[in-house]
Chains A and B, each alone.
Chain A
Amino acid sequence: MAKIPIQVTVNGQTHQAEVEPRTLLVHFLREDLGLTGTKIGCDTSQCGACVVMMNGSTVKSCTCLAVQADGAEVTTIEGVADQGNLHPIQEAFWDNHGLQCGYCTAGMIMTSVELLQRNPNPTAEQVRAGLEGNLCRCTGYQNIVKSVLAAAERMGG
C-alpha cells in the first residue's frame, strides 16, 4: 500500500516521513520518532495514556492517524518541560504524589495542561470532570486532582 509523505513538527522539531495510511499517530511517535514517553494503555480510546497536544488541543494519539497529523504541531510529554525546567504541572504532580506507577502520567499531564489553559481556576469537580478520559489504576485520582489544583494556584489561575 502506498505510503504517504507527512511533515509533523513535534516538540518544536520538524520531521518529514513516509507512513502507511494505517499508522496511528502514537505508533509514529513511539516507533518512528522514538518518543516513548507517550503510552498505549487500551485500544478503544478510553484510557488516555496516549494523550498528546496537537495544534493546541489534546488528542488521543491512538485514535488519530499519523496522516491526520500532516502539517500539525504536536507536543508530547517530552516537550512539556521548558529547557529542562519542569512545567508547573509536572512540579505539582511531583509535589503532591500525583503518580504511582507513572504509566498514565504523561496523558494525565497533557490533559491537565489543556484543562488549565481552558479553565485556569477550576474547582475540584471541574478537574474530575476534565479527567474523565484519563484512567489511572493507582492513585484513585485524588492526588492527581490535588496536583492539578495546586498547579492552577502556582500558575496564577
Chain B
Amino acid sequence: MFAPEFEYHRANTVAEAIDLLSSNPGAKVMAGGHSLIPLLKLRLARPGVVVDIGGVAEMKGITIADGNIRIGALTTHWEIESSSQVAEANSLLAEAAGGIGDTQVRNRGTIGGNLSHADPASDWGTVLTALNATLEIRGPGGATRTASPTDFIVGPLTTTLGETEILTAVNVPVLAANQRAEYAKMAHPASGYAVVGAAVVVNVDGHTCTGASLAVGGAVPAPVRLTSVENALTGKELTFENIEAATAQADNDLGGEILGDFFASAEYRRAMAAVETKHALFHATEVAHH
C-alpha cells in the first residue's frame, strides 16, 4: 500500500514539536509510526504535515524513584517489557508490554503513541487505568497538565489531547508488597488486539481483599473502571465463589455502549468482561478451587 503525499518535519525537542504543530494545523505527530503509518497506507489519514518526534531524547527512558515509575512517552513496549527494574517495581507493566502485538510492534511502538492513538482494543489504556497512572501532557509555551487514563481516552481513536499538545510521559505507582496485579486478554486471532482485556490490581491482607482497582477495555469505546466489582470484592475473602459473585457485577460498570463485530458481538463481549476479570483475579490472587 502506498501513502499519500505529505510534508515531513523532524523535531528534536518537545518545544520544537509543539511549535511545528502550532504552525501546521492538522499536522500529525509520529512517534514509532506504528499507529500512524498503517492509517497513511490505507489513506485513512491524510495529514498535510507529519511531525516526527522519534528523535526527541527528553521523551525517552524510564526512571524509578519515590514509589513512582516515570516512563517517557517514546519508550517502546519492548523497553518496558525487558526492563528488570520495571519488572521488579511493577510486574503488570512488564507483563502487559510483553503481550502487545508482536516483537516488531513492541520494538518500534511506543507507550505514548499507543495511548494517543486510543484504539479501544489496545492494552495500555486498560492496564494503566487499573494502575491509576498519571499522564503528563505538554502544550504551547511550556504549559503542562496531567490527566488520568480515563480522562485522556474518551472514545475510539479519541483523546482529550489538543491539536498542539503532546503526551510526554506516563507515571505509574510502584506496586506495594500487598498488591497483586494481572492482565487477562482475549486476543483477536488475526490482529492480536484485545477483544476484551481486564486488568486487576488487588490489595490483600492474608486472604482478604482490602481494596481493588479493576479495569476493562476492548469491549468498550474507552477503558472503564469496574467500581461495582471493586466494591463487591473489597472486604471479602478471596475465594472462588466470592470472585465469581463479584465479577458477575461487571455489567453495571460497562456503560451504555458495548462494541461488537462479526467476530465478537456486544452480547458476548459484555459477558466476557466479567469472565476475563474473573480469570485475571484468579491468577492475581492464585485462587483455585479449595
Interface string of B107-118 (1 = CB under 8 A from A): 110000000000
Interchain CB contact under 8 A, B108 and A22: no
A58 touching B8 in the complex, CB below 8 Å, given contacts A63-B34, A65-B37 = no
List 9 additional A-B contacts (Cβ < 8 Å) besides A22-B6, A60-B108, A67-B8. Answer: A22-B3, A24-B3, A45-B38, A45-B104, A63-B37, A67-B10, A67-B52, A114-B103, A133-B105
A67 CA to B191 CA, complexed, in Å: 26
Interface size classification for chain A: 20 to 34
Query: Is B6 a contact of A21 with CB atoms below 8 Å?
Result: yes
* 14 residue pairs bridging A and B, Cβ less than 8 Å apart: A2-B7, A22-B2, A24-B3, A24-B37, A43-B41, A45-B104, A59-B108, A60-B105, A60-B108, A63-B104, A118-B82, A132-B102, A133-B103, A133-B104
Interface residues of B in 95-140 (CB under 8 A from A): 101-105, 107-108
Which bracket fits the contact residues of B?
20 to 34
Cα(A115)–Cα(B108), bound, Å: 15
Smallest CB-CB A-B distances: 6 pairs: A133-B102, A21-B8, A43-B1, A22-B3, A132-B102, A1-B5
Given contacts A46-B191, A63-B37, A63-B38, contact A21 B50 (CB under 8 A): yes
The CA of A31 and the CA of B109, in the complex, are separated in Å by 26
- Interface of chain B residues 72 through 107 with chain A (CB within 8 A): 78, 82, 101-105, 107
Residues of B within 8 A of A (CB): 1-8, 10, 33-34, 37-38, 40-42, 50, 52, 54, 78, 82, 101-105, 107-108, 190-192
A65 touches B33 (CB 8 A): yes
Q: A68 at the A/B interface (Cβ < 8 Å)?
A: yes
Q: Which residues of A contact B108 (CB under 8 A)?
A: 59-60, 63-64
Within the complex, what minimum Cβ distance (angstroms) separates A67 from chain B? 6
What's the Cα separation between A132 and B48 when bound, in Å?
34
Contact A64 B101 (CB under 8 A): no
Interface residues of A in 110-130 (CB under 8 A from B): 111, 114-115, 118, 130
Q: From the candidates B5, B104, B105, name the one contacting A22 in the complex (CB within 8 A).
A: B5
Does A57 count as interface, using CB distance less than 8 angstroms?
yes
**Which listed residue, B1, B4, B42, B104, touches A60 by the CB 8 Å rule?**
B104
Answer yes or no: A98 CB below 8 A from chain B CBs. no
Most buried by A among B2, B50, B52, B103: B103
What mask results when residues 54 to 73 of chain A are scored 1 for a CB within 8 Å of chain B, else 0? 00011110111101100000
Known: A59-B104, A132-B102, A133-B105. A45 touches B34 (CB 8 A): yes
A154 and B108 alpha carbons, distance in the complex (Å): 29
- Expressed in whole angstroms, the minimum distance between the Cβ of B211 and any Cβ of chain A is 33
